[in-house]
Structures are given as C-alpha cells and as structure tokens.
Amino acid sequence: MKESNKFLRLLAKDYPTIGATTSEIINLEAIMNLPKATEHFVSDIHGEYDAFQHVLRNGSGNIKEKINEIFGDRLMQKEKNALATLIYYPEEKIKLILSEYETENEKEEWFRMTLSRLIEVCVFVASKYTRSKVRKALPDEFAYIIEELLFKDNKYANKDGYYNEIIDSIISLERGAAFVTAMSNLIQRLVVDQLHVVGDIYDRGPHPDKIVETLMQHHSVDIQWGNHDILWMGAASGSAVCMANVIRIQARYHHLDILEEGYGITLRQLWNFADSTYSTETNSCFYPKIDPSEPKPLQEEMIQLTKIHQAIAIIQFKLEGPIIRRHPEFHMDHRLLLNKIDYEKGTITLQGETYPLTNTSFPTIDPIDPYQLTPEEEAIVEKLVLAFKNSNQLQKHISYLINNGSMYLTHNHNLLVHGCLPMNPDGSFMEMDIRGKMVSGKVLLDKFEDAVRKGFLYQQRENNDKYLDLVWYLWTGPASSLFGKDQMTTFERYYIEDKATHIEKKNVYYEKRNEVETCEKILAEFDLDPSKGHIINGHTPVKEKRGEDPIKAEGRLIVIDGGFSKAYQGTTGLAGYTLLYNSFGMVLVSHQPFTSVKEAIEKESDIVSTRRVVDRELERMKVRDTDTGKKLQEKVADLKALLFAYRNGEISEKIYRKSSTYL
C-alpha cells in the first residue's frame, strides 16, 4: 500500500464518510477565519505575586478596554471601574458591595443589574472563539446556564422572559455570588488566550512558589526560563553550587521562609553552623535587603540572617572553584577569587590592583587550599542537596517549569528569549565548546536546553555533574543566553567598596539589538520571517526614567523587563511592562507600582498607566495567520486529499446502516 494511502486510511477512521469529511473542512475553515486570539507576555516577576496576580486578572488593562468598548457612555466611569474591579476580584468585591446594602431587595437588584452587565461582557469576549472552545472553558456548575445565556438568539419571542427567569432563580436559590464569581472568572479566562512568561519567576520577591501554583492553574502558559529560574532548577536537580546561590539570595532578601515553609526544606543545621562560626562584627555587607514596606526584623533576627548569609556566600564561592577548574572551556578563570586574597593583610589583588576587603573574617578558609569545604560545611551541603531533591513541593514546581518551559520559544512569528543571543563584536554568534564541539546561535541554545532537561531527569545518576555544571554556567557564564554579561561580580559587591570592580559588562548583543539588521539576522537563525517577526526579551530592566526605550530596532525587538521587582523600581521608575498581541497588533503596557490587593479592591484603582502601539496590523490578523492556523491548513489539505480519495473510489466510505430486521 502506498504510504499516502496508509495515512489517508488512518484519517478515514475519524472521518468515515464524505459528509463527515466535508463538515470538518467547513468547521476548520470557519475557525481559521476567526480573529487571532490574544497573547499576553510578562517577564521578570521575581516573586511579586500580588502585582502579578493583578496584571493577570486585569489582562494588562484588556478587561477595562473591553468594558469601555461595550458600555461607552451608557455607564459612568465610576460604574465601569466598579465592574472591572468586580471581574478582577469577584469574591472580595461581592462581599464588600453586599455589606453596603441593607435590604434583601437592594441586594437582589444589584445582582440582577450586575449579572446582565457581566453577560454582556462575556458575550463580547466570547465572540472571538468557537462555541466548542467557549464550552470547554465553562465552569462545571453553571456550564449549561451560561451557554444558554451566551448564545441566546432572538428566535423565540418569549426568550427574554426565559433569561430573566434563569437569573431570578439563580438569585432566589442564593447562588448569585457563586454565579457572579464564575462569570468573572470566565471573562478573565477568555480575555487572554495564551500567557507567555519570559523568565525570572524566582528570587528577590516574597512568593515565587505561589506564582508557580497560579501558573499551574492557568489554562494555557508557556515559560521561557530565566537565569533565576535556572538556578532553582539546578538546585532541584542536585547542583550544590546552584543550591548555595538560591539560599544566598533568599538570605539576602530575607525570604528564607520560602525554603523552610514553602518548600519544607530545613535549614536548621546551616543556622546553627552560621551562628557558631561567624561573628557579628564588620558584617554590614551581609545585612539582608529588607523591603521597606515590610516590618523590620528584630535586632537578634538581623544578626542571625547576616550570619547565615555570610556562611552560605562563602560556601558558594568555595563550590565555584572546582567547577571553573574542571571546565577550561567555560573561560571563567577570572572568577577564581578566593586564591587572590591575602588572608593576613585582608586584601585582594585583581588585575594588578590591590583592594582592601570590607570584611576579613574567613574562619572556614584554609589559605593554602581556599576552595576546600570544611567537614562541617561538606556535611551541611550534602544534607541540603538531599533536602532539595526530596522536597515534593519543589520537585512538583520544577517539573512544571521543565515540562512547560524552554530556553526560547518561537511562536506566531516571534522569538521569545529571556536574555540574549550571545554575540561577538563583529555581529557573529558567540561560539562555545560543548563537549568538544564548537556551537553557536540556535544550536547552542538547543544544547543548553538539552543539558537542563537531562540534569533534571538524571538527578539520581552518579555523574550528573556534566549536565549540572552547564546548568550553573547558564546562571553566570559569559556565553549564557540567560545571563549575557562578562562576569557576575557577586564577590566584589560584598567585599570591595570600589564600585569599578562591580561592573558587569553586558554582551555586545545588548547594543546590537537596537539595529534592525541584527534582529533580522537573529529571526532568520530561528527560521522566522524577518519581515514579520519580533524578538521579545526580559532580563535587563529598562530604565525608562533615564530615557531608555523598551521598543528597539524600529519595533523589531521589545524588552519587557520594567521591574515587577520592588528592589528594581527605583532604577526603572515603573512597576513592569507587559505586552499584548491581539488581532490588531502589538501593544506595550507599562504599569505603575502596585500597592496592595486591599487598595485595588476598595479604591478600584488600576495600575495600568500607558499603552503604546508597537505594531498595527494592516489587516486584522486571523487564526489562519498563526501557528495554529498553519497546522489547521495542513489538516484541511489532508482532509481534502481524503475527500478526493473517497470521490475517485480509492477509499470507500463506511456508512453504517441500521439493521432492518427485527429481532
């Protein structure tokens, strides 16, 4: 049998008749003619769960925009704000509103009015999708009712009465609040079809674990790993050096509770060791960074935090040594610093220059062999590595990142990558030796991804280091697409006052990405159409305050790291960018700092500030023009081939007639 016939016969199982085949073709053609669904891009969330939730709930201002479009002058701005807040935070807002009414009548009236407004919004946002897609999104309890309400037609004269009756019975059965909540969640769900997280969910902020939980509940997410995510992925895979970095950053930002409470990893031994090993004098460089809006820790707690921070930083520096030494191809010898310290004088010599150290207490370092862990440090590291590997919750979250994430993503003509494509000054892609082979560009990123996946998958194997070393490299190495700087000057930032030593020089990519030519070259490297595609980056906070533009190379590249991270809002002057890509084009949204959920609900304040059009489509984009459209077109071509085979008798239809004999 011919190969193509074999394939068509298989397809014929699903479409056994000419009728079934043609109706599927018509169905697919109809889907391809729908407007392209909305994509939502966010990045560098850095544990800021509340701000992230808000942006997610309001669809980066998309819900407000729909409300404005639908109600125009029919509602006052105040009413529109109230409706928007209700959709973002239905449960909390309903309680607040109902507490203001005194009689049951007033409450019922509010439910009736609100439900009719919600239905209007829902009908509008659902109109972009097929019925079957909307049906799949419906909450079980109210699926039938919502479907009736959404797809009401005016065929029957008494339909209005019928709908009012549905609404009345929902209210009289005291399911009003549940129904308003379900409708609000459905609107949130329909307003954004696909969420892209362009990296750095973890570190600095208080609740990365809750962000991952939220993403896990989301209907459709992809993640492009960031350097901070990679650190946690390495730690969960059993990399001691990644783990030491993770703990150090949690100590630095006073969020060790994420490990101890969120992930059930006990740090008791490390606390005890730090307490008995390090003194409290001249330790200011290890003071934790405390978010000023959080309560300040007590003096005693500050001392403990400072000591554990120092203890784990030293362990990290020690663990880096052997990896750098066993990988000359990493070209990271300049990061071997512990052997450049004069432990008697308390100085360090870097590139011929000698600097005093701000802290000269190194009780665990043997100057002859400074990278050697003490037996106590070694025992602690070993136990902690096991604790990370055995934390169910952490393994669950990291598996999710592995399964739903990648080093980069090409989607609907765009390339999404957290950091950069490492380049040489002449514009060629930087090469790196991966197990004896020089690779660059897309192939390099594919190799990196392979190492991350294998490192996680083979965490029980003995010699997993060959993968895990590369995972650590992704955090801090010069040719890492997630980092893209010549060095990470962590040691210098703690120990040397002279700021010149803190400089981390960015890869030339970060200049070249301003040029159209570079962006087109990169898009072509990833088999994308350079005339249509965009590159979306996170990672480098855009200092809009200082006049930096997040839209580069005439709109070919957009950087969306505006600083969800509170620690960086001082530099960016903003609280983050998000990007929306709908059938009309791309819109960049900048957000003002988010204060609190309470304020958002009570004052109905939104953090969206400005929306800038990056690209406007000349013609409204349809599903046909997307990656899904491409697949659907292929399927239509196959179905047409099947139809042809039915018609010319190559394959016969399977028509099941009902038996005419009575038993």
Which residues of the chain form contacts with ligand FBP (CB under 6 A)? 200, 227-228, 252, 485, 488-490, 504, 539
Sheet holding 414-417, edge to edge: 408-411, 414-417, 535-537, 557-559, 551-552
Residue closer to ligand FBP (CB basis): 411 or 418: 418
**Is 226 a binder of Mn ion (CB under 5 A)?**
yes
Residue closer to Mn ion (CB basis): 59 or 199: 199
Least distance to ligand FBP, CB of residue 583, Å: 33
Residue closer to Mn ion (CB basis): 226 or 533: 226
Q: Which does 239 bind (CB under 5 to 8 A by kind): ligand FBP, Mn ion, none?
A: none
Longest CA–CA span in the chain (Å) reads 105
Sheet holding 347-350, edge to edge: 341-342, 347-350, 353-356
Least distance to ligand FBP, CB of residue 548, Å: 15
Residue nearest to Mn ion (CB): 539
Q: H/E element holding 229?
A: helix 227-237
Q: Which does 79 bind (CB under 5 to 8 A by kind): Mn ion, ligand FBP, none?
A: none
Least distance to Mn ion, CB of residue 525, Å: 22
Residue closer to ligand FBP (CB basis): 176 or 538: 538
Residue 291 token pair: 């978010």
Least distance to ligand FBP, CB of residue 364, Å: 23
Task: Provide the residue count of the chain.
Answer: 663
Beta bridge partners of 417: 408
Task: Tell me the one-letter amino acid at 622.
Answer: K
Residue closer to Mn ion (CB basis): 42 or 651: 42
Q: Which does 478 bind (CB under 5 to 8 A by kind): Mn ion, ligand FBP, none?
A: none
**CA–CA separation, 504 and 489 (whole Å):** 7
**CA–CA separation, 396 and 399 (whole Å):** 5
> Would you give the distance in Å from CA 251 to the centre of its chain?
23
Residue closer to Mn ion (CB basis): 496 or 579: 579
Assign 130 to helix, strand or coil.
Answer: coil
**CA–CA separation, 503 and 488 (whole Å):** 8
Least distance to ligand FBP, CB of residue 508, Å: 16
Least distance to ligand FBP, CB of residue 504, Å: 5
Q: Which does 57 bind (CB under 5 to 8 A by kind): Mn ion, ligand FBP, none?
A: none
Q: Which does 196 bind (CB under 5 to 8 A by kind): Mn ion, ligand FBP, none?
A: none
Using the rule CB under 5 A, give the single segment among 57-65, 233-241, 245-253, 535-543 that binds Mn ion. Answer: 535-543
Residue closer to ligand FBP (CB basis): 358 or 489: 489
For β-strands 221-224 and 194-197, DSSP reports them as parallel
**CA–CA separation, 12 and 3 (whole Å):** 14
Using the rule CB under 5 A, give the single segment among 11-19, 498-506, 534-542, 619-627 that binds Mn ion. Answer: 534-542
Integer-rounded Cα radius of gyration of the chain: 29
Residue closer to ligand FBP (CB basis): 77 or 284: 284
Closest CA to 7 of 654, 655, 651, 561: 651
Query: Quick one: the chain helix, strand, coil %, rounded to 5?
Result: 55, 10, 35
Least distance to Mn ion, CB of residue 493, Å: 16
Least distance to Mn ion, CB of residue 539, Å: 4
Q: Which does 488 bind (CB under 5 to 8 A by kind): ligand FBP, Mn ion, none?
A: ligand FBP
Q: Which does 490 bind (CB under 5 to 8 A by kind): Mn ion, ligand FBP, none?
A: ligand FBP
Least distance to Mn ion, CB of residue 532, Å: 27
Q: Is residue 132 packed enough to be buried (19+ CB in 10 Å), middle (13-18) or exposed (0-12)?
A: exposed
Q: Which does 230 bind (CB under 5 to 8 A by kind): Mn ion, ligand FBP, none?
A: none
**Is 203 a binder of Mn ion (CB under 5 A)?**
no
Query: Using an 8 Å Cβ cutoff, are 509 and 427 in contact?
Result: no
Least distance to Mn ion, CB of residue 199, Å: 6
End-to-end CA distance of the chain: 40
Using the rule CB under 5 A, give the single segment among 75-83, 105-113, 220-228, 549-557 that binds Mn ion. Answer: 220-228
Least distance to ligand FBP, CB of residue 650, Å: 58
**Count H helices, E strands: the chain?**
27, 17
**Is 80 a binder of Mn ion (CB under 5 A)?**
no
Residue closer to ligand FBP (CB basis): 28 or 574: 574
Least distance to ligand FBP, CB of residue 331, Å: 17
For CA atoms 568, 569, 574, 577, the dihedral sign is positive
Query: Using an 8 Å Cβ cutoff, are 171 and 163 in contact?
Result: no
Least distance to ligand FBP, CB of residue 247, Å: 14
Residue closer to ligand FBP (CB basis): 359 or 489: 489
Q: Which residues, including other chains, have CB under 8 Å from residue 595's CB and lie 6 or more apart?
A: 605
**Is 200 a binder of Mn ion (CB under 5 A)?**
yes
Residue closer to ligand FBP (CB basis): 134 or 241: 241
Residue closer to Mn ion (CB basis): 227 or 476: 227
**Residue 436 to residues 330, 449, 482, 622, Cα–Cα distance (Å):** 12, 17, 22, 46
**Is 227 a binder of Mn ion (CB under 5 A)?**
yes
**CA–CA separation, 409 and 423 (whole Å):** 19
**CA–CA separation, 638 and 25 (whole Å):** 10
Residue closer to ligand FBP (CB basis): 17 or 489: 489
**CA–CA separation, 550 and 545 (whole Å):** 11
Among 397, 521, 539, 552, binds Mn ion (CB under 5 A): 539
**CA–CA separation, 465 and 468 (whole Å):** 5
Q: Which does 335 bind (CB under 5 to 8 A by kind): Mn ion, ligand FBP, none?
A: none
**CA–CA separation, 614 and 405 (whole Å):** 26
Residue closer to ligand FBP (CB basis): 504 or 638: 504
Least distance to ligand FBP, CB of residue 610, Å: 24
Task: Tell me the one-letter amino acid at 633.
Answer: Q
Query: Using an 8 Å Cβ cutoff, are 393 and 399 in contact?
Result: no
Q: Which does 504 bind (CB under 5 to 8 A by kind): ligand FBP, Mn ion, none?
A: ligand FBP
Instruction: Provide the binding-site residues for Mn ion, judged by CB under 5 A.
Output: 200, 226-227, 539
